[in-house]
């Protein structure tokens, strides 16, 4: 695969391997500009990322494109700091070999500077940290799992930010190496559009774990497939998941946001609904959402439109004192003349008691989180909701995933490593407000 990536000659057996895992018919003669390698778990992705970074730093002559004193950067971009350190650990091990003795000028925790005006740096997947560098190459590790609560698709934003700079540097490369995940994002789009095509600039590789690492025991993969076939098929067989889809398109969420509206004051003679997501003050935020319903008259008086308006969204991020959060939330509720708040049934008895001490009744939600999101979905689809202009809320709503379990039951939740505290209370409050108009009319016979 590395021979194919860099346009090196291959023998007959290697050419067969290349064609099997790329679906192509051509024989590459030159280095590709972009590579998308879709590789199963434990296939050596991070190790290969380190090898490629070292190779590009040492064996390419970049000085002819750099002015005296300018550093050219080879970026290894990982999903989080822990993964970035794994890649850097491999890179440092390579440069401790005797063959590279005397080449390192400076080595710190996340960066190695060489004496040939080239630096290798590992960074987390945040496009804001990539500006201001002369980038020679970018190696994106586990790009399918890049997450950001302020963006529904950070991978797309990062690749968009990288490409203009790479385009001006002859011999530059953009290499994406990852296990597959859902059928969305740049990794899946490259597979969908370019796998099996003889594109001269972009190479798409797709290979299961066992093909890239024959030392893996079959029993490990077989057990994983038996325990959770959908997940294991992605992790070990390099197949994109069929059981995952985005909760809702970003365009529909954006259409529900009122630009420049960050909070609304209380209106007289208006009934408000509040939903809270308590937290113990460590991992998750303590959040609150308040909303109300209002009629929007159309030309026909009988065709009145009902809108659910999000008035307030509060997020208290950890660490914090939970009881102080309850007190602060109670003050906000009183401003809106709210005496009852709904929340998670599994929050614990301390939450109920704490709100009671503030003369606020805490009611356990009748719906689970997934049920709330599923009830919230048609409200958004029908454009019946006005949301506040809140980046955290928008990012969390856009990152939500919908999974179909056995029996047809749908689960909506945030991806691993992210949060949905703001999205949860927003959906909960809007569903509460919507329920009052969904209840059947009760006729009392005297």
pLDDT in tens for each of the 446 residues of the chain? 999 999 999 999 999 999 999 999 999 999 999 999 999 988 888 888 889 999 999 998 888 888 888 888 898 888 777 777 888 889 899 999 998 888 988 888 888 999 999 999 887 766 566 666 788 999 898 888 886 655 556 788 888 888 887 888 888 999 999 999 888 788 999 999 999 999 999 999 999 999 999 999 999 999 988 888 878 888 899 998 877 677 888 888 999 999 999 999 999 989 999 999 998 767 789 999 999 998 766 554 455 678 999 999 999 998 888 889 999 999 999 999 999 999 977 667 888 899 999 999 999 998 888 889 988 988 898 889 999 999 999 988 888 888 766 555 678 888 777 788 999 999 999 999 987 544 444 344 43
Report helix, strand or coil for 212: helix
First and final C-alpha spacing in the chain: 82
Q: Hey, what are 262's tokens?
A: 């960050």
- Calpha distance 167→426 (Å, rounded): 42
Helix (H) or strand (E) holding 204: strand 202-207
Report helix, strand or coil for 219: helix
Report helix, strand or coil for 169: coil
Cα 38 versus chain centre, distance = 18
Burial letters 144-153, b for 16+ CB under 10 A, else e: bbbbbbebbb
pLDDT of residue 342: 94
Task: Write out pLDDT tens, residues 208-223.
Answer: 999 999 999 999 999 9
Which residue shows structure tokens 């003889």? 198
Of 235, 239, 211, nearest to 221 by C-alpha is: 235
Asked whether 38 and 238 are in contact (CB, 8 A), the reply is yes
- Calpha distance 421→324 (Å, rounded): 18
Asked whether 291 and 310 are in contact (CB, 8 A), the reply is yes
Of 300, 289, 268, nearest to 385 by C-alpha is: 289
Identify whether 177 is preceded by a cis peptide bond (ω within 30 of 0). no
- Compute CA distances 101 → 47, 381, 389, whole Å: 20, 61, 54
pLDDT of residue 439: 41
Within 8 A by CB and 6+ apart from 154, the residues are 125, 126, 127, 146, 147, 148
Of 410, 303, 395, nearest to 387 by C-alpha is: 395
pLDDT of residue 283: 75
Using H for helix, E for strand and C for coil, what is the string for 83-110?
Answer: HHHHHHHHHHHHHCCHHHCCCEEEEECC
Report helix, strand or coil for 264: coil
What domains appear along the chain, each with residue ranges and CATH number?
A: 2-241 (3.40.50.300), 250-435 (3.30.420.240)
Burial letters 348-370, b for 16+ CB under 10 A, else e: eeebbebbeebebebeebebebb
- Calpha distance 433→272 (Å, rounded): 8
Question: What dihedral do alpha carbons 352, 418, 120, 199 form, nearest 10°?
Answer: 180
- Calpha distance 38→250 (Å, rounded): 25
Bridging pattern class, strands 244-246 and 118-124: unpaired
- Calpha distance 160→162 (Å, rounded): 6
pLDDT of residue 335: 94
pLDDT of residue 441: 42
Task: Write out pLDDT tens, residues 23-37.
Answer: 999 999 999 999 999
């Amino acid at each position: 695969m590395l021979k194919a990536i860099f346009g090196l000659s291959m023998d007959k057996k290697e050419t067969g391997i290349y064609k099997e895992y790329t679906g192509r018919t051509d024989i590459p003669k030159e280095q590709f500009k972009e590579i998308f390698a879709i590789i199963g778990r434990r296939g050596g992705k991070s190790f290969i990322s380190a090898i490629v970074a070292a190779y590009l730093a040492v064996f390419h002559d970049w000085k002819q494109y750099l002015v005296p004193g300018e550093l050219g950067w080879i970026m290894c971009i990982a999903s989080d700091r822990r993964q970035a350190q794994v890649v850097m650990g491999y890179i440092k091990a390579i440069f401790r070999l005797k063959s590279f003795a005397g080449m390192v000028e400076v080595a710190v925790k996340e960066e190695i500077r060489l004496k040939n005006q080239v630096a290798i740096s590992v960074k987390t997947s945040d496009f804001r940290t990539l500006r201001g560098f002369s980038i020679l190459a970018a190696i994106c590790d586990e790009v399918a799992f890049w997450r950001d609560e302020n963006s529904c698709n950070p991978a797309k934003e990062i690749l968009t930010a990288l490409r203009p700079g790479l385009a001006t540097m002859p011999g530059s490369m953009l290499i994406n190496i990852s296990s597959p995940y859902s059928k969305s994002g740049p990794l899946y789009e490259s597979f969908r559009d370019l796998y099996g095509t003889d594109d001269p600039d972009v190479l798409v590789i797709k290979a299961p774990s066992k093909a890239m690492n024959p030392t893996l025991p079959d029993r490990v993969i077989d057990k994983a497939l038996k325990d959770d076939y959908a997940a294991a098929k992605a992790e070990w067989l390099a197949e994109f998941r069929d059981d995952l889809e985005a909760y809702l398109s970003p365009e529909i969420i954006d259409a529900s946001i009122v630009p420049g509206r960050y909070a609304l004051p209380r209106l007289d003679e208006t009934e408000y609904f509040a939903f809270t997501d308590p937290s113990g003050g460590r991992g998750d935020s303590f959040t609150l959402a308040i909303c109300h319903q209002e009629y929007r008259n159309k030309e026909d008086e009988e065709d009145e439109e009902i809108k659910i308006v999000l008035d307030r969204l509060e997020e208290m991020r950890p660490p914090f004192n939970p009881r102080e959060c309850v007190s602060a939330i109670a003050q906000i509720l009183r401003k809106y003349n709210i005496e009852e708040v709904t929340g998670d049934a599994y929050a614990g008895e301390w939450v109920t008691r704490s709100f009671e001490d503030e003369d606020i009744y805490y009611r356990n939600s009748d719906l689970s989180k997934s049920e709330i999101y599923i009830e919230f979905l048609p409200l958004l689809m029908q454009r019946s909701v006005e949301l506040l202009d809140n980046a955290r809320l928008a990012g969390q709503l856009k990152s939500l995933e919908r999974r179909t379990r056995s029996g047809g039951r749908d689960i909506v939740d945030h991806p691993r490593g992210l949060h949905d505290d703001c999205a949860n209370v927003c959906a909960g409050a809007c569903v509460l407000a919507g329920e009052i108009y969904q209840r059947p009319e009760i006729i009392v016979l005297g």
